[in-house]
Structure 1
Amino acid sequence: MQLNANVIAVAIVASLALSAPAFAAPSDQSPAALRAKGLAQNNAAALQTADADNFTTKDIIVDRDGTEHVRMDRSYRGLQVIGGDVVVHSRNGQFKKASLTLKTKDRPALTPAIDADRAVVEAGAAFKGQINDIGSQGLVIYARGAKPVLAYEVRVRGVSATQGEADMRTFVDANNGKVLDSWNIIHTAAATGVGQTLFLGDVSITTDSISGGYQLVDPTRGGGNTRDGVGKTIDRVYNTAKVMTDADNNWGNNTESLVASEATDAHFGVAATWDFYKNNFGRNGIYNDGVGVKSIVNVTFSGQGGPSGGNAAWYGAPYKFMAYGLGNSTWYPVVSLDVAGHEMTHGVTEATAGLSYSGDAGGLNESASDIMGTMVEYYANNAADPGDYLIGEKIYRSNPDGKKALRYMFRPGDADAGKSYNCYPAAGFAGVDPHYSSGPGNHFYYLLAEGAVSPAGFAYTPSQLVCNGDTGVTGIGRDAAQKIWYRALTVYMTSSTTYPQARTATLNAATDLYGSGSAQYNAVARAWSAVSVN
């Protein structure tokens, strides 16, 4: 929406957020990018660089001591290398190391044995659901397997029995038609899903004044805005939903009788997440570009059994918006604070590490959202929804003891009858829903922050909270734990990071922040071992 230049920002009370100029997208011609490209060329072996590889800058982080971390996507003879992304770490123009998962400089021949139509057929057959749109996106190099292979990327949109509403990236071997990998770019709050706010009581929100009233637009946080989906399925309304307006700047009535009630939960959740990232990490919006988030409440999602309101989702690029389901007989409108923080963290992950939504990386992607969604809840410090390590407990219509939740971070499998993994399996994850493979990451983070101590309201013994019998695991506190995780995510993890590589990434982050051999470093190592990641 184009805002009038004279729009007045109206804050009901003083906000923690400060106006700041937007950050420009990193340029391939910036000094840091040029240095990184030069270092990549001079350290080809460390980056597994082939002669025809090319790098494009995605993100740049510069530490206070001048150390540069330049994240780059890789292409080969003009084809994107899926899993070929890398972070070049340097200081004073000197190469330090690189973070990557690619293990070979071998590249495949670029002549396909099958055509794009065959790839589309194979991707469609693997989808197993109602297909609304399907088409080839062209050839890529798929490098997340044992060796890089030429593949077609096929986009499949529709409703899948396993994914629900889906917009799939599917990779089909261009030599034999085998489906190599596939993931959904719509990242939801739960696999099956399921103002005067519904959940937070009366809160202060930032709005805009317009002629004759106010609108749910937050000019102090990049123009983020909240819209009413009027009960429609999200694919029919995401580009037409209107920004909500009000005559007196008093929104909702703490009940579902007014959509404005759930809208203010969402609006507050976006603001809290923005402030959390800005005040803790200096991040200016989800993409660090100063641009606010578009949120659409009161929507349904397509599913095999028909439209459902029991979910919430972050829609990644090129969409870049939040959608909140209107609820159903099991769920309230899905606008709780930790769900908002969770979903928007998918955007942060997309903008930084780009963790693919399959295998170990998919579990780490979901875990990152659970971790930061939980930290947003603690950061907001709202008495009606105090911080805890339960995900989505507020959205249950029936939850008398408050222990029902989508996921527990301290023992993930206990929240969903054993579907989530408490401990990391020796063979890693393949074909496991990321909501369940997130378990070891969530479990690690709880132990890192809190130690082998039962959360309030539960009665776990220390031995029940670890996988290796190490009952002496001691927490380092949420502040240090979140700093380590954020730095690992934004500086060291790449699109195909595995759990063992996440261990290394967080140890690198702990070294940067607190020193090798520090109490924090040792705690990271011990917490990972306690969930069987060695």
Structure 2
Amino acid sequence: MAVIAVGLPVGPASADSHTAVTAGRTNARPAATPAPRAGALPATLSPTERAALLTRARSQRADTAAQLRLSAKEQLVVRSVGKNRDGTTHTHYERTYSGMPVLGGDLIVHRNPDGAVTGTDMATRTSIATTDGKAVKSAASARRYALWAARKDGVARPSAATPRAVVWAAKGKPKLAWESVVEGTQHDGTPSRLHVITDATTGVEIRHYQDIQTGTGHSQYSGQVDLTTTPTGQTFTLSDASRGGHETFDLNHGDTLNPYRDDDDVWGDGNGASVQTAGVDAAYGAQKTWDFYKDMFGRRGIRDDGVGATSRTHFGTSYANAFWDDDCFCMTYGDGADDSRPLTELDVAGHEMTHGVTSNTAGLIYEGESGGLNEATSDIMGTGVEFYADNQADAGDYLIGEKLFGNGEPLRYMDRPSRDGSSPDYWFSGLEQVEVHSSSGPANHFFYLLAEGSGEKTINGVTYNSPTADGLPVPGIGRENALKLWYKALTERFTSTTGYAAARVQSLQAAADLWGEGSATYTTVADTWAAISVGSRPNGAYVTNPGDQHSVVGTPVSLQPRTGSTNPGVTRSATGLPTGLAINATTGLISGTPTKAGTFHAIVTVRDSKNTVANARFTWTVQPQGSGCGVSQLFANPGFESGPTAWSQSPGVIDNSSETPARTGRYKAWLGGYGTTHTDTLSQKVTVPASCTFATLSFHLLVTTDEAPKSAAYDKLTVKAGSSTLGTWSNLDKSTGYLQRTVDLTPYVGKTVTLTFTGTEDSVSKTTFLIDDTTVSAI
């Protein structure tokens, strides 16, 4: 059950009001953005096509589970399937473990038009196979606790059926749990469906959240509007066969569904005292929301199955709220605190129905950061509905519930959320603990910035002034593009546990699909997340500092810094290199033979066609010939051509198979590549002579991965000297060939130390770390 917002506040929000645009001022708009790639947009599916996709997905469950390396006790349950115009499909699965639902175990499998899996998005990557065992605490004790917790939350007349056994995997280590659902009435009259999750071993509460997601609005009459109705005998009803059979009913402050009927098909009088007026607003809002989703995204109703929902008006007595309920597949509207201002505003209807869309796609859990994103999604799409309707009696704006107080002050501001007195403008580490209608603030701010850009501007007579966390401007990509991006991320990438950091990654994947990775629009999306303190702005050009270098006159050197750009036209240059060395402008490889001793202050510069620049500064010390210790190799069997000789390894790490290439010779070290939770190690002990001044470890590394581009660092390779970490690489360092990596061993001069390579993988999507041609040198 989803409700559109929290109960009405006692008084107006403590915020300054937006002012009307002054005469002669023009609306500022974002710069033009290219249209998204048509093939990446959602396809409109007929009932037959949708049924065929669901049937195919169900038939692939076992194969999909095997590809994901799920355990034999884990089963996949198809929730929904979406398809893009280019034939790409996105299947949402729920998961069970030993027959128990896994809360937070949902995942999305992406397949190309040929049916091959191209990637996954998972609510959790932690192995579920840690929950075997029996419940210590009984279902009865879990039910008693849930009823107590509900009363503590102010739920009146609470009742709960027998709890069900589940696996809780939404956060932390998966564990066996009881899920109790408590029904009753919340403090403001909203029905309760409180989910209480308790640990089946300890009885301690893990989490609780309402399944009724509330939203606040107020009566918003839209003037004279056209309605689709149905003639029934000598009368007409508010039933719309053209939109899935959507029906609007009058509850008349009770429990009975009373069809709205009218003799002349002219409904209401624009006055809240008329029983029919609320029905007009509810039906109009439902029709415009259906049309918005259909025309903008090709979606046929809340479940995308062509079936309309139900709207119910005049709920309760003095009920100042509205809510969506999955169980009845219906929207319900109260009449306000004085029973004269029904909460049937246009953007409320859009907000309400969007809770249903979210429930049937990402299923964002209604608490913590995911709950804030759930609320923001409804605000975003409700705003989209208002602009789409293009009704002059209710012009589109970025204000939520602006008619609520009767004085023009909204409940929430998308351009600067903090103006409501409780919502933050930017993400911060404690956002998880903020109530969901306030933790939606940063996401609402992100959407406004992405749609319209930062700074002051006026739109439909309302003045906005949107700041950024880093003080840098963002241009915006236009409202329709921003809506298409958010919808694609919601329906194809978000899972039940998606928080702000994951939303950034997943929306960037959507941007890459729509406009191309590294495109100007892609960069704007990344910049906009940075503008609300989620991630950092991509600089375009980049260079990884290789650290201080040490060489000897007459000894050839080769150094490959990591360089590149998100933009085309990349060139590399360097100043201050030791005499005899030069940089390749195309690859960035620094090579040559030093001819002069001394200390050199090198600067490597990367520049792209958009004139973004990155620099790395480091010191390069060149020793005279014959000075220091002059040791070129302290490792034994450095290229592994003698197999495991001199090395300690996990079984099979040093390998000569043809499946993966060595850089030179036949052997290399192969860490990872299992696609399941696994750790490989490779080590050798060395002694660095005390007569040396500097020492380094270098090796050539090739990283291949099945993880999605721009994902998190799920799989890692670390290099340690003893217990000290010298360097870390991950699936994000994917490369097409071997690249030389170097770490400093100077602190270990005069010491004996074990150098260890450790490769770790999580439970999904393999990453392989290949190492060859290692060197420990000292001068």
Q: TM-score range by the shorter chain?
A: 0.7 to 0.9
Shift of 1:198: 5.6
Is the Cα contact below 8 Å between 1:358 and 1:434 reproduced in 2? yes
- State yes or no: 1:469 paired with 2:458: no
- State yes or no: 1:271 paired with 2:271: no
Unaligned runs of 5+ in 2: 1-43, 536-779
Shift of 1:95: 1.9
SS at match of 2:386: helix
Residue 30 of structure 1 corresponds to 55
The 1-side partners of 2:233 and 2:464 are apart by 57
Deviations 1:260-287 (A, max 9, x none): 1121011000000000001111111111
Residue 353 of structure 2 corresponds to 344
Shift of 1:329: 4.2
SS at match of 1:271: helix
Shift of 1:162: 8.9
Residue 144 of structure 2 corresponds to 121
SS at match of 1:429: helix
Stretch moving more, 104-113 or 170-179: 104-113
Q: Which of the residues 180, 188, 198 maps onto 1:154?
A: 180
Residue 495 of structure 1 corresponds to 496
The 2-side partners of 1:461 and 1:405 are apart by 15
SS at match of 1:313: strand
The 2-side partners of 1:298 and 1:43 are apart by 49
The 2-side partners of 1:23 and 1:273 are apart by 24
Is the Cα contact below 8 Å between 1:99 and 1:492 reproduced in 2? yes
The 1-side partners of 2:502 and 2:134 are apart by 33
The 1-side partners of 2:62 and 2:417 are apart by 42
SS at match of 2:449: helix
Q: Which of the residues 418, 422, 425 maps onto 1:422?
A: 425
Q: Which of the residues 209, 229, 234 maps onto 2:251?
A: 229
Amino acid at match of 1:414: R
Stretch moving more, 94-103 or 451-460: 451-460
Amino acid at match of 1:313: F
Q: For the structure 1 residues 455 and 113, does the alpha-carbon distance in structure 2 shift closer, same or farther, using more than 3 Å as the test?
A: farther
The 2-side partners of 1:409 and 1:23 are apart by 40
Q: Which of the residues 110, 118, 126 maps onto 1:89?
A: 110
Shift of 1:346: 0.2
Q: For the structure 1 residues 429 and 311, does the alpha-carbon distance in structure 2 shift closer, same or farther, using more than 3 Å as the test?
A: same
Is the Cα contact below 8 Å between 2:147 and 2:158 reproduced in 1? no
Residue 392 of structure 1 corresponds to 401
Shift of 1:330: 9.9
SS at match of 2:269: coil
The 2-side partners of 1:198 and 1:423 are apart by 30
Shift of 1:251: 0.2
> Which protein is richer in strand relative to its size?
2
> Which protein is richer in helix relative to its size?
1
Residue 482 of structure 1 corresponds to 483
Shift of 1:131: 3.3
SS at match of 2:495: coil
Is the Cα contact below 8 Å between 1:23 and 1:289 reproduced in 2? no
Q: Which of the residues 405, 410, 425 maps onto 2:410?
A: 405
Is the Cα contact below 8 Å between 1:124 and 1:131 reproduced in 2? no
Deviations 1:235-266 (A, max 9, x none): xx1xx311100000000011022111121011
The 1-side partners of 2:442 and 2:492 are apart by 21
The TM-score with structure 2 as length reference comes to 0.60
SS at match of 2:289: helix
Q: Which of the residues 302, 305, 325 maps onto 1:286?
A: 302
Is the Cα contact below 8 Å between 2:220 and 2:343 reproduced in 1? no
Q: Which of the residues 78, 81, 84 maps onto 1:57?
A: 78
Shift of 1:170: 1.3
- State yes or no: 1:205 paired with 2:205: no
Shift of 1:395: 3.6
Amino acid at match of 1:50: S
The TM-score with structure 1 as length reference comes to 0.86
The 2-side partners of 1:434 and 1:163 are apart by 19
SS at match of 1:153: strand
- Let me know the Cα RMSD of the aligned residues: 2.2
Is the Cα contact below 8 Å between 1:293 and 1:321 reproduced in 2? yes
Query: Percentage identity across aligned positions?
Result: 39
Is the Cα contact below 8 Å between 1:136 and 1:153 reproduced in 2? no
Amino acid at match of 2:96: S
The 2-side partners of 1:25 and 1:115 are apart by 42
Shift of 1:461: 5.0
The 2-side partners of 1:289 and 1:83 are apart by 25
Amino acid at match of 2:438: Y
Q: How does 1:260-339 map to 2 (within 5 A)?
A: 260-300=276-316, 307-316=317-326, 318-329=327-338, 332-339=341-348
Q: For the structure 1 residues 29 and 409, does the alpha-carbon distance in structure 2 shift closer, same or farther, using more than 3 Å as the test?
A: closer
The 1-side partners of 2:220 and 2:88 are apart by 45
SS at match of 1:206: coil
Amino acid at match of 1:527: T
Amino acid at match of 2:488: R
Shift of 1:412: 1.4
Q: How does 1:189-200 map to 2 (within 5 A)?
A: 189-190=215-216, 199-200=221-222
Q: For the structure 1 residues 489 and 20, does the alpha-carbon distance in structure 2 shift closer, same or farther, using more than 3 Å as the test?
A: closer
Q: Which of the residues 138, 141, 145 maps onto 2:171?
A: 145
Stretch moving more, 209-218 or 49-58: 49-58
Shift of 1:165: 3.6
The 2-side partners of 1:50 and 1:389 are apart by 47
Q: For the structure 1 residues 23 and 333, does the alpha-carbon distance in structure 2 shift closer, same or farther, using more than 3 Å as the test?
A: farther
Is the Cα contact below 8 Å between 2:188 and 2:319 reproduced in 1? no
Deviations 1:19-50 (A, max 9, x none): 99646875797224434642331232xxxx23
Tell me how many residue pairs correspond in the alignment.
Answer: 485
The 2-side partners of 1:98 and 1:299 are apart by 42
Deviations 1:350-399 (A, max 9, x none): 01001110111100100100000000000000000010001111243x21
Shift of 1:423: 1.1
Deviations 1:169-198 (A, max 9, x none): 1111111111111111111113xx77xx96
- State yes or no: 1:365 paired with 2:374: yes
Amino acid at match of 1:311: N
Stretch moving more, 255-264 or 158-167: 158-167
SS at match of 2:148: helix
Is the Cα contact below 8 Å between 1:206 and 1:217 reproduced in 2? yes
Q: Which of the residues 39, 42, 56 maps onto 2:64?
A: 39
SS at match of 1:283: coil
**Which of these two proteins has the greater Rg computed from alpha carbons?**
2
The 2-side partners of 1:372 and 1:28 are apart by 26
Residue 742 of structure 2 corresponds to none
Deviations 1:421-463 (A, max 9, x none): 2111124413x3211111111010000000113353666655x
Is the Cα contact below 8 Å between 1:163 and 1:184 reproduced in 2? no
Residue 451 of structure 1 corresponds to 453
The 2-side partners of 1:503 and 1:198 are apart by 34
Deviations 1:488-526 (A, max 9, x none): 000000111111000111111111111111222111111
Amino acid at match of 1:101: A
Q: For the structure 1 residues 264 and 461, does the alpha-carbon distance in structure 2 shift closer, same or farther, using more than 3 Å as the test?
A: closer
The 2-side partners of 1:284 and 1:28 are apart by 16
The 2-side partners of 1:163 and 1:147 are apart by 36
Q: Which of the residues 173, 189, 194 maps onto 2:199?
A: 173
The 2-side partners of 1:491 and 1:420 are apart by 28
SS at match of 2:331: strand
Q: For the structure 1 residues 461 and 264, does the alpha-carbon distance in structure 2 shift closer, same or farther, using more than 3 Å as the test?
A: closer
Q: How does 1:247-266 map to 2 (within 5 A)?
A: 247-266=263-282
The 1-side partners of 2:197 and 2:52 are apart by 29
The 2-side partners of 1:449 and 1:107 are apart by 44
